[in-house]
Amino acid sequence: MLPLRDANPAHARPYLTWALVAVNVAVFLYMSSIGNVFRLVDFVYEYGFVPQSFAEDPGGRFLSLFTSLFLHGSWSHLISNMVFLIVFGDNVEDRFGRLPYLVFYLLGGAAATLTHALFEGRSPVPLVGASGAISAVLGAYIAIFPRQQVQTFIPPLFLPWLLLSFFVRVPRFFLLWLPAWVFIGYWALIQLFEASATVGVQLDDGSVAWWAHVGGFAFGLLWTNLFRPKPRRYAPP
């Protein structure tokens, strides 16, 4: 399932969310411009998070907890992450405020990465991608806006949807408005199920870091319920 938009307008322009998207795209374009494959591999190992290297030298590899959040392995990897960030990030930024949101985003990404390291502590495979931080954003969104509607694209071959289509009329183009607690809740269950299936199995290059998603989501829920950001007041236009 892919979120397209939500029915939850932000009161202020989400400049920070846009900036995060821009930085992620810029870094990916730079990576794509590296013609030499060996230089690209060196770049990924330098700025990606390598659990084995972090376990051996946490201080020296500390910054990789954050730099790895801005690296992506493919266009599809980048685009899917940025779609989730754009759909859900603006409202979380709106509720938190820009600076607290940036701190939350980076700490959520670091928490996700450390959760991955907890289960893949000796892996030499670099972890890259913003999905851990974005998982924290999803945790915050479901805690603050559980009833907001999310327009969702349901792939035609999505099995639960096929079963549902026998009982209800299929919306045009397989678009459906779902409450955030349904969309994000289903997403979270999938992450936990997939993560549980990897316990004791070392991930290969290209595998999804499911435990990073679980850790980021849990951080987002905990942080939001702990600090309970209140709606901000805005002057009328």
Q: 228, 144 in Cβ contact below 8 A?
A: no
pLDDT tens digits in sequence order for the chain, 237 residues long: 788 889 988 888 999 999 999 999 999 999 999 988 999 999 999 999 999 999 999 999 999 999 999 999 999 999 999 999 999 999 999 999 999 999 999 999 999 999 999 988 888 999 999 999 999 999 999 999 999 999 888 776 555 555 554 445 555 557 788 899 999 999 999 999 988 887 766 665 667 889 999 999 999 999 999 988 777 655 444
How confident is the model at residue 43, as a pLDDT?
95
The CA distances from residue 21 to 25, 109, 180, in Å, are 6, 15, 22
pTM summary value:
0.88
How confident is the model at residue 167, as a pLDDT?
47
Domains of the chain from N-terminus onward? 2-227 (1.20.1540.10)
Amino acid at 160: P
User: Tokens in use for 107?
Assistant: 């700490």
How confident is the model at residue 237, as a pLDDT?
43
User: Tokens in use for 145?
Assistant: 């806006």
Provide the 3-class DSSP secondary structure of residue 220: helix
Amino acid at 29: L
User: How many residues are there in the chain?
Assistant: 237
